Each structure stands twice: as C-alpha cells, then as structure tokens.
Copies of this chain bind each other. A is one copy, B any other.
Amino acid sequence: MIRIWTVLLVCALGLAQPADDSKPAGSNVPGAEYPRIYSDLRVTFRLKAPEARKVQVRLGKDYDMTRSDDGTWSVTLPPQVAGFHYYSLVVDGVAVNDPGSETFYGSSRQSSGIEIPEQGVDFYEVKNVPHGEMRQFRYYSSVTGSWRRAFVYTPPGYDSHVKARYPILLLQHGGGEDERGWVVQGRTDIILDNLIAEKKAVPMIVVIDNSYAFKPGETPPSLRPPAGPPGSFRIVVSPTFGDVVVKDLLPALDKHYRTLADRDHRAVAGLSMGAAYAMQVGLGHLDTFSHFGSFSGTVMRDLDARTSYGGVLNDGEPFNRKCHLLFIAAGTAEQSRLDAARHARAELDKVGVKYVAYDSPGTDHEWLTWRRSLYEFAQRLFRK
C-alpha cells in the first residue's frame, strides 16, 4: 500500500506542469504524466533516477537525457512518425521499461511502447458503434500435447443472431511476439468493429493464435541464432503450427463457433514472420483456405513462382480460380520488405497470378503498417 501511495503521490505532483499543448501518451498507464506528446509530435520523456550516471531513450536510436538537480532526467525528441513504436529507457547501459508506459509483448520481452497519434485518422480508435467481443479461447492440441490459447474476435450481433454463421480470418503475429500482438498493439477488434459498422467489411470471426507451436521434444527453430551475417539467413518456419491449425484449431473452432466451415470462407494472413506462416499454412492447404495475406513478409524475398509452396503458383489460371484474394503489403519506409513484396509481385506477374498490392505510406516495420494492412485486407475478404 505504501508503494501504491508513493506512485500515486508522484502522479499527483506530476499534475503541476507548465502550460503547453502536450498530453500524456495514450499508451501510458493510468495517471502517468510522462511520456508527453506535443501537437507537433515532439515527445518528452522523463525518469527519476538520482543515482544513475547516464540515462537515454532508445526509440529508433539512442537520445541522451539530461539530469536536473533533483535527479530527474528528461529529453524532448523531435517530431516522431505516427503509429505505435516500441521503446526503452537505457539506465547506465541497461535497456529497461519506462514505468509510465503500458507494456507490449515484442522482441521476446514485455517492452514499453508509445502511440503517436495520426492526424485525422480514427479507423483504429474506439467509436460509438456496435462492438464485437475479443474472447480468450482455450483448446487442446493433439499435435503439441498441450492446452493452447487463442483469441477469437466475434463480430457485433454474434450472440443475438443465433442462426448466423460466419467466415474465419486467421491472423498471425510476428517474430518475438505472440497471440497478444494483434489484440493489443494491432487493435484488431476496434478495426473490425469500425469496418463492419461502415459496412466496409462483412461480419467475420478473427482468430489470433501463437505460431510458436512445438511437438513434445521439438527444438524451437526460431531460438537458433541466424548463421552468417545479418540478412543472410532464411526464416525457418516450423511445420508444426500448420499441423495444429488443420488438425486441432480449425476443428475446435468449427465445433465451438458458428463458422462457415469451408475453404471459401477461410482466410489467413500474418505480419513479418507471421506472413511466412500464413503463406505456408494457407498455400500449403488450398483445400482449406482461399484468401491469403502477407504483411511485411521477409519471406516474399524468396518467392519463386515456379517452385514455392509445392508449385501451386506455377500455373496462373488454375490458381486464380481457387484463390479469392492474394494480398501483398509492405510499408514504404521498410525498404527490405518493400523490395521483397515487389520481388514477389514480379514473380506472380510472370505466371499470371492475380494479387492485390498495398504499400503503406511512410511506415516502417511497425504496427501502423500492419493495422493499415489489416484495414485494407479485411475490406476485400469474403466478397465472392
């Protein structure tokens, strides 16, 4: 209780700020006055650390903070790019969380993050519209021999329209993230609620699972450090998750939820490493899925239209009849993934496979690219 009141006292004292147009970041914990964002998107960070010798903010690069006489360190960063950014404070060389920030699971740890507002854009803000539910769904996997957790978005009206059945979108996180990514950082439920309210997307179920799935005794491949210089390694995607999806997850979903249980009503997409899983699971199971999305997939760099995925892309026309949507997205500020997407699109052009391209203006390998990708992708789903 003493700790609680100490924190609250600090918060209360923090209220007495000089007048300016800055506001606490929306990604702060309740009551935390720092970090603060100005209308021009400059950001002030602050930390009390009287005994520290050096304190920095690590947000893209490292910014030195300046010490006041009372042991408070602070710095104001130049205007930041809109969207969600992971960041750290660095105290005497150790990257730590900012106590003022919520935490977000990424880079295989719980990290601070800051939401820089996007002027005039509200597709991922809670609005006065009917809301669906994000549900925690536990299911047993015979493949992994364990109970697993997925999050399942059910659209507005799911519980009242008891005869209605819905298509399913399976949505995968990136490397070092998990099934919480699309729920928390991705704001999937808010994006879908808003799209459905505007009739820009059909009501659908969205399933968000964890692709780190291993059979008993299987060595997690993603824990192997890359061989060779950075960028030279190929992404190792375990086939186990695909087995889990087909053998355990989809049957459990079809049993528990009112799904439309056929390939025409199933989509799969993912971001970064999740794009590799989405393509492997989706293009590897054309009898099960018909819509496919790659958001910032490095895997696209390696796409060979003649040989990849067992050669299913090799002949354009038969594939186009089976594929209702192939969506390939990247941010214009993430050059390597943009190049990968362009390579893949050129490969698909060679064989006459139809696809939809989306380049997110000005965004990097970050969640705003992926929120926008979902927003664009979801509007095109289940239209046939």
**Top 7 nearest A-B pairs by Cβ distance?**
A51-B93, A96-B96, A4-B176, A131-B138, A103-B110, A134-B136, A103-B103
Compute how far the CA of A128 lies from the CA of B138 in the bound complex, rounded to whole angstroms: 10
A-B contact pairs, 24 of them (CB 8 A): A1-B175, A1-B230, A4-B108, A4-B175, A4-B176, A5-B225, A5-B230, A7-B107, A8-B176, A8-B223, A11-B108, A15-B223, A29-B110, A30-B108, A31-B108, A31-B220, A48-B94, A51-B54, A92-B92, A99-B109, A100-B109, A131-B147, A135-B135, A162-B162
Chain B residues with CB below 8 A from A110, complex form? 29, 97, 99, 101-103, 110
B94 near A97 with CB under 8 A, answer: no
Q: Which residues of B contact A254 (CB under 8 A)?
A: none
How far apart are A100's CB and chain B's nearest CB, in angstroms?
8
* Contact across chains for A128 and B147 when beta carbons are under 8 A apart: yes
Q: What's the minimum C-beta distance from A384 to chain B, rounded to whole angstroms?
A: 28
> Closest Cβ of chain B: how far from A358's Cβ, in Å?
21
> What is the number of residues of chain A that contact chain B, defined by CB distance less than 8 Å?
69
Please state if B138 and A135 are interface contacts (CB–CB under 8 Å): no
Tell whether A11 pairs with B131 under 8 Å between CB atoms, given A29-B105, A29-B110, A159-B256.
Answer: no
Taking a contact as CB atoms under 8 Å apart, the answer to whether A223 and B94 are in contact is no
Say yes or no: A107-B3 contact (C-beta < 8 A), given A92-B91, A126-B138, A225-B8.
yes
Complex CA distance for A54 and B2, rounded to whole angstroms: 24
A209 at the interface (CB under 8 A from B): no
Q: B7, B138, B189, B230: which contacts A108 (Cβ < 8 A)?
A: B7
CB neighbours of A178 from chain B (8 A): 30
The answer for the CA separation of A158 and B186 in the assembled complex, in Å, is: 28
Kindly state the separation between the CA atoms of A223 and B230 in the bound complex, as whole angstroms. Answer: 48
- The distance in angstroms between the C-alpha atoms of A200 and B109, with both chains bound, is 38
CA distance A95 to B6 in the complex (A): 13
Taking CB atoms, residues of chain B closer than 8 Å to A246 are: none
A26, chain B: closest CB distance, angstroms = 13
A interface list, Cβ under 8 A from B:
1-5, 7-9, 11-12, 15, 29-32, 47-54, 91-97, 99-103, 105, 107-110, 126, 128, 131, 133-138, 140, 147, 159, 162, 175-176, 178, 189, 212, 220, 222-226, 230, 256-257, 298, 365
Q: How far is the CB of A166 from chain B (nearest CB, A)?
A: 13
Q: Which residues of B contact A95 (CB under 8 A)?
A: 99
Q: Using Cβ atoms and an 8 Å threshold, which residues of chain B touch A128?
A: 140, 147
A3 partner residues in chain B, CB cutoff 8 A: 107, 176
Given A135-B136, A175-B4, decide whether A29 and B109 contact each other with a Cβ distance below 8 A: yes
Chain B residues contacting A162 (CB-CB under 8 Å) are 162
CA A102 to CA B178, docked complex, whole Å = 12
The smallest beta-carbon distance between A157 and chain B, in angstroms, is 10
A49 is contacted by which of B93, B189, B223 (Cβ under 8 Å)?
B93
Complex interface: chain B residues within 8 A of A212 (CB) = 30
Tell me if A223 and B11 are in contact (CB < 8 A): yes
Task: Determine which of B7, B9, B50, B91 lies in contact with A96 in the assembled complex, contact meaning CB atoms within 8 Å.
Answer: B91
